[in-house]
Amino acid sequence: MSERLRDLTTPPDLTIKPAHGPQRLRRPIYFDLRPPCTHACPAGESVQTWLAFAQAGRHRDAWDTIVQANPLPAVHGRVCYHPCESSCNREQLDGTVSIHAVERFLGDLAIEQRWPLPAGAPPSGRRILVVGAGPSGLSAAHHLRRLGHTVVVRDAGPVAGGMMHFGIPAYRLPRAILDAETARLADAGVTFECNHLVEDLEREWRDGAFDAVFVAVGAHLSKRTAIPARDAGRMLDAVSFLRDVEAGRPPTLGRRVAVYGGGNTAMDAARTALRLGHDPLIIYRRDRAHMPAHDFEAAEAIEEGVQVHWLRAITGIDGARIEVEVMELDEAGKPRGTGRTETIEADDLILALGQDADTGFLERVEGVARGADGTVTVDDRMMTGRHGLFAGGDMVPAERSVTVAVGHGRQAAGFIDQYLRGVRAEAAPHPPIATFDTLRPWFYAGVPQASQSHAALAERRESFEEVVAGLTEAAAVHEAKRCLSCGTCFECDGCYAACPETAVIKLGEGLRYEFDYARCTGCAVCFEQCPCSAISMVPEPGAR
């Protein structure tokens, strides 16, 4: 007997009525648990739901489900670090479901088929200003528009996309994909005003007669560090480097280029330098296990030939000679110097040490609190100290990623809508998470993961064409079918077939089942065989 069944079915008093046989002390109920993939998604996608549509070949329904939470599935299928997969229970069987690859297939199919976004609510008569057309601003605009509000997005850049356009190289995110998904938002009624630098927010708020404002300007200012330099070679920051390359004006650099940092931006800068014909290397003060970059990013960079000098910290520069101190990690994984030094030869140095938020324009807005790194303080409803002014994305204290930013935009849109309507709705509590130990793994057959092919190394080193290929329709359906449907009944008929008292009633396709408690003895056979843990045993009403 499983621990879960023992916990649910063993009461303190096992009273038996002798005249009528055993008294039923517990009864089964159909009760869906929360899938771990959905729970882990910062964007708020109902992952398991759209995977079920995809495996049935209902691709439009799957995509419609995704965009209820996230308007950029083709983008996310490429750049998301997929925490949903890190939480996938299938990892303990034969490998995680490649959720991002299926999402990318659906996103690309929607672009190819020109699917419009689902219709939203009727016009509300309210106007919202969104400052910043990065992932958080785009997400907020999408959800606010679906709620019926008029949305104007203003951005200082020439095109929408923010750091997705100017910070993520094209070999990871083709510009045609990003442009198609932002254009779809414009088609849905979002107004974009690019090349519009907002400097006096209160004036624009007042002159535009906006009812609320959402600010999501990201973090575009590169952090600096004091490096003693004597006759130093050229130093530049990674954000400016990537932006200049995207704009078609790459800086003139020497043959050997060093990148200082261990995040995704450092990997992007090094791989970009490689494609421009340079010989890049990365210097990072921790080891690979403690780097902030996603492991697959580092793996692709190393595979392409980027050298990485782990556990090295720059102490000085003398011309083309970079002096570094060898580091070691303490018990907490923090680097500390050993006193030993080395020399690394490089013509130029690109600094990729993180970014600060460029929120100086908010200094004149009363009530807005800003940190030393430019981040803005918000409350539990994502509102700043200025009434009606909300903020999200990289400019608020949080994990920085496209997916988290999109989630911020979705949440902020809901809070803005509540603010406009004068209500404060509390989120409904989630059911328990369906963990691997609640499943019946014997039910599921081993099925290998569908793999995504990569461009040949020789081509990758010389081209900004996309590195990772998408899945075919057959492969995407195959991958979606690997979903275990953790915690959610998928009508396998197991309970129906196993019940010795024929107490399970089948209601028809898509309607699931119900229990006939006049027949049910509480034996829990249905509970024990349910592969996805969609049945629970609960106390019998009135049982003592």
Tens of pLDDT along 303-352? 999 999 999 999 999 888 999 999 999 988 899 999 999 999 999 999 99
* Whether residue 17 has pLDDT greater than 70: no
For the ranges 19-23, 443-447, 521-525, 532-536, the lowest mean pLDDT is seen at 19-23
Is residue 434 domain-resident? no
Structure-derived torsion over alpha carbons of residues 110, 115, 120, 126, reported in degrees to the nearest 10: 90
Confidence (pLDDT) at 356:
84
Answer yes or no: is 320 within a domain: yes
43 or 441, higher pLDDT? 43
Average pLDDT value for residue range 287-299: 91
pLDDT of residue 121: 95
User: Residue 480: pLDDT above 90?
Assistant: yes
Are 410 and 140 in contact by the 8 Å Cβ rule? The answer is: yes
Other CB atoms within 10 Å distance of the CB of residue 4:
16
What pLDDT score was predicted for residue 232?
57
First to last CA, the chain: 22
At 471, which CATH number? 1.10.1060.10
Phi and psi of 505, rounded to 5°?
Answer: -110, 125
DSSP 3-state of 182: helix
CATH number of the domain to which 227 belongs: 3.50.50.60
Q: How many domains does the chain have?
A: 4
Q: Record the tokens describing residue 110, joined without a space.
A: 């929607």
What are the phi and psi torsion angles at 351 (to 5°)?
-90, 125
Helix (H) or strand (E) holding 143: helix 135-146
52 contacts: CB under 8 Å, gap ≥ 6? 480, 483, 485, 490
Q: Say how far apart CA 410 and CA 415 lie, in whole Å.
A: 9
**Residue 447 placed within a domain:** no
Tokens representing residue 524 in the block? 């829990």
Considering the domain architecture, whether residues 404 and 302 belong to the same structural domain is answered as no
Q: What is the average pLDDT score of the chain?
A: 91
* Identity of the residue numbered 15: T
Q: What is the pLDDT of residues 18-59, one digit of tens each?
A: 333 357 889 999 999 999 999 999 999 999 999 999 999 999
- From CA 129, how far away is CA 209, in angstroms rounded? 9
Q: What is the spatial distance between Cα 393 and Cα 402, in angstroms, rounded to a whole number?
A: 8
Residue 349, Cα to own-chain centre: how many angstroms? Answer: 31
Determine the 3-state secondary structure of 234 from DSSP: strand
Tell whether 88 and 172 lie within a shared domain: no
- How many angstroms separate the CA atoms of 499 and 436, rounded? 24
Quote the pLDDT of residue 466.
Answer: 94
Separation CA 301–CA 498 (nearest Å):
52
Domain match, 66 and 100 both? yes
Q: What is the pLDDT of residue 168?
A: 94
pLDDT of residue 16: 32
- Same domain flag for 321 and 249: yes
| Distance from C-alpha of 331 to C-alpha of 336, rounded to nearest angstrom | 11
Question: pLDDT at position 12, please?
Answer: 32
Q: Does one domain contain both 231 and 350?
A: yes
Model pLDDT for residues 194-237, shown as the tens digit of each residue: 999 999 999 999 999 999 999 999 888 888 787 877 555 688 99
DSSP SS3 for 212? strand
Q: How far apart are CA 344 and CA 306, in angstroms?
A: 15
Please write the tens of the pLDDT for every residue from 122-132: 999 999 999 99
Alpha-helix runs per DSSP H in 332-443: 402-421
Query: What confidence score (pLDDT) does residue 425 get?
Result: 84
Mean pLDDT, range 244-258, rounded to an integer? 94
Q: Is residue 431 part of a domain?
A: no
In this predicted structure, the answer to whether residue 426 has a pLDDT above a threshold of 50 is yes
Same domain? 105 vs 154: no
Nearest to 13 by CA among 2, 23, 4: 23
Residues 476 and 328 in one domain: no
Count how many Cα atoms sit within 13 Å of the Cα of residue 455 in the half-sphere of its side chain.
14
Q: What is the residue range of 15's domain?
A: 3-33+489-539
326, 354, 382 - which closes a domain: 354
Do 405 and 322 fall into the same domain? no
- On whether both 208 and 227 belong to a single domain, the answer is no
Residue 419 to residue 23: CA distance in whole angstroms: 53
- Average pLDDT of span 51-79: 97
Pairing status of strand 307-309 against strand 312-319:
unpaired
Q: Which two tokens stand for residue 80?
A: 């998301």
Please, which pLDDT band fits residue 95 given cuts at 50, 70 and 90?
very high
Mark whether 325 and 412 lie in a shared domain: no
Over its C-alpha atoms, the chain yields an Rg (Å, rounded) of: 27
| Percent with pLDDT over 70 in the chain | 95
Is the pLDDT confidence value at 2 over 50?
Answer: no
Q: What is the CATH number of the domain that holds 500?
A: 3.30.70.20
Tokens of 39: 């729970």
The answer to whether residues 192 and 337 belong to one domain is no
Domain membership flag for residue 544: no
Q: Using CA atoms, how far apart are residues 209 and 206, in angstroms rounded to an integer?
A: 5
pLDDT digits (tens, 9 = 90+) for 443-478: 888 888 998 999 999 999 999 999 999 999 999 999
For residues 506 and 457, state if they share a domain. Answer: no
Burial of 424 (0-12, 13-18, 19+ CB in 10 A): exposed
